[in-house]
Chains A and B, each alone.
Chain A
């Protein structure tokens, strides 16, 4: 609790920086607009204004500060514009409408969750195989580790097209991308977790004459839970990024990625910003949810997070 004030201070500083930046970032646009409304602007031609930086122009035209915050198509929207846009598209729209961010959010989120469940499930199974089978360990593990150093996200556009060519469209191709992005962190984390019991604990089970199955269910699996949660938190945010990026190169018509692209192409920066922040909120909610479950589970099990 003692870090609430420092956290608020840091967030406040970031917001302040943002609010101050709005003026110079939007100054050229505002000056052009003001001139059309017969407000005196120095210097008075757009060409002459190009000579000045945003800050220089702002210092010469303090009367325009207010206008920079209310542009319809700003280069940098101010925080309140983003909040208003989000409120309009999240709360004030029917959630089945194409203009509702909840609708687009659900399109992205459903693909994320389906992919995440598949990726995590397969990841855990492979990790169990790796821990119990030496040939599998030596064959697969180096590739799983190496896969974390390469940008596998680059595969996303191709998977969409590949699956489109064999007639699979919609949610499933995105889910596949989400699945393989969450797969590798879970494999690596779970292998670490299932191997975390030390020799002493394994020996103790042997003195109890425990079968390998009992060793798995009563020692290895519970011991891996903190590692599982650490990987789940990495995996879910990777899954979400995967689903968003999967919507970009193919001109998807719904989803956070599609909104970002639409806002960009039709010159509606507020749409892009609202989609960006809604995606960030979704990621935060997902990671926050797993943190809560983690804390609750580990407390019930009497364990520490890794």
Chain B
């Protein structure tokens, strides 16, 4: 039985790999279709192997549920998953993300007027961005209660530093020549900021905003491990793990993955709209 399982899984792997190797080395390898098809086939191969191995080796679903079981659970629990999504992503992560972003922009623009402050904020902010800030979650849950407000606060602090550092660095990115040009036009501080320096900083700012999307989701989910109302993705993950309902945990992880990619994709799309002039966006 074990032998059959392993041989059939290897056969599927070999088949998937054969198709991909042929596709990747064919003349059509650079077409859009093949570029999407190859990773899709790879993912599908892994899923089929997973399903097959779990079923044939009779792995207990409390260790690893098969993908079909997860998909089934996902389809049946959409109302619960949606409620968790709204609680964690929309209320916790999004609110915190917007607060942290606005605070970072505010501090960056204030600090930007002084070269002294800028030189202080860049290293300190970069240092803070590398720290395990998610550890403040228990403190914030105690201060602000277990509902989404404490999650939003954790997220705001987590996203603040990467966005701040990137905004401050971006505002310094104009050349002396460009600033002199603005001066010859008689532009003061604010016109220079809005017409030259902020647009020039946009590629940096969006870099920070994109890094922060993942951090926001991590902060909102992990903060719920420290206390939450009876709804939310982190709550559902920790209670389902406790009940050994791993198919539900996987369903939440699918939601988290979809939300993370969508959030990142949204920021990348806005970036494309805002910084269409930048070399990295040219097609």
- Chain A positions within 8 Å of B, measured between CB atoms, are 2-3, 5-11, 14, 75, 134-135, 137-143, 146, 148-151, 153-155, 157-158, 160-162, 165-166, 233, 237, 240-241, 244-245, 248-249, 256-257, 260-261, 263-264, 269, 272-273, 275-276, 279-280, 283-284, 287
Contacts and interface: CB of A to CB of B under 8 A. Distances in A.
Contacts of A283: 130-132
B62 A165 contact: yes
B226 interface: yes
Contacts of A166: 63
Which of A6, A142, A240, A287 has the largest count of B CB atoms less than 10 A from its CB?
A6
A150 B130 contact: no
A138 B20 contact: yes
Q: Is the interface of B mostly helix, strand, loop or mixed?
A: helix
A139 B42 contact: yes
23 contacts: A10-B120, A11-B124, A134-B24, A137-B24, A138-B20, A138-B23, A139-B24, A139-B38, A139-B42, A149-B214, A149-B261, A151-B217, A162-B246, A165-B244, A264-B226, A273-B139, A275-B135, A276-B136, A279-B132, A283-B130, A284-B130, A284-B131, A287-B130
Contacts of A140: 39, 42
Contacts of A138: 20, 23-24, 29, 34-35, 38-39
Contacts of B238: 157, 249
B117 interface: yes
Nearest to B132: A241
Interface in B217-241: 217-218, 221-222, 225-226, 233-234, 237-238, 241
Contacts of A244: 132, 134-135
A120 to B, nearest CB: 17
A280 B124 CA distance: 13
A-B CB proximity, top 9 nearest: A6-B120, A139-B42, A10-B120, A149-B264, A150-B260, A264-B138, A135-B24, A151-B217, A138-B38
Contact of B134 (A134, A161, A245, A284): A245
Interface in B91-145: 116-124, 127, 130-132, 134-136, 138-139, 141-143
Contacts of B35: 138
Nearest to A13: B120
Which of A135, A146, A153, A264 has the largest count of B CB atoms less than 10 A from its CB?
A135
Interface residues of B, number: 65
Interface string B65-88: 000000000000000000000000
Contacts of B29: 134, 138
Nearest to A138: B38
Interface string B234-267: 1001100100101001101100110011011100
A179 B64 CA distance: 20
Interface in B178-205: none
B50 interface: no
Which of A138, A140, A143, A264 has the largest count of B CB atoms less than 10 A from its CB?
A138
B120 A9 contact: yes
Contacts of B214: 148-151
Given A9-B116, A139-B42, A248 B222 contact: yes
A260 B124 CA distance: 24
Which of B117, B120, B246, B264 has the largest count of A CB atoms less than 10 A from its CB?
B120
B131 A150 contact: no
Nearest to A161: B241
Contacts of A151: 214, 217-218, 221, 256, 260
Given A140-B42, A162-B63, A241 B138 contact: no
B126 to A, nearest CB: 10
Contact of A241 (B23, B134, B252): B134
B131 A249 contact: no
A33 to B, nearest CB: 18
Contacts of A75: 142-143
A249 B138 contact: no
Given A139-B38, A237-B130, A241-B134, A158 B120 contact: no
B42 A233 contact: no
A155 to B, nearest CB: 6
Nearest to A275: B135
A157 B218 CA distance: 13
A148 B264 CA distance: 10
B25 interface: yes
A264 B21 CA distance: 53
B60 interface: yes
Contacts of A2: 119
A239 to B, nearest CB: 10
Given A138-B24, A139-B42, A165 B138 contact: no
B204 to A, nearest CB: 16
Contacts of B119: 2-3, 6-7
A149 B116 contact: no
A272 B138 contact: yes
Given A153-B221, A244-B135, A161 B244 contact: yes
Contacts of B117: 6, 9-10
Which of B131, B142, B218, B241 has the largest count of A CB atoms less than 10 A from its CB?
B131
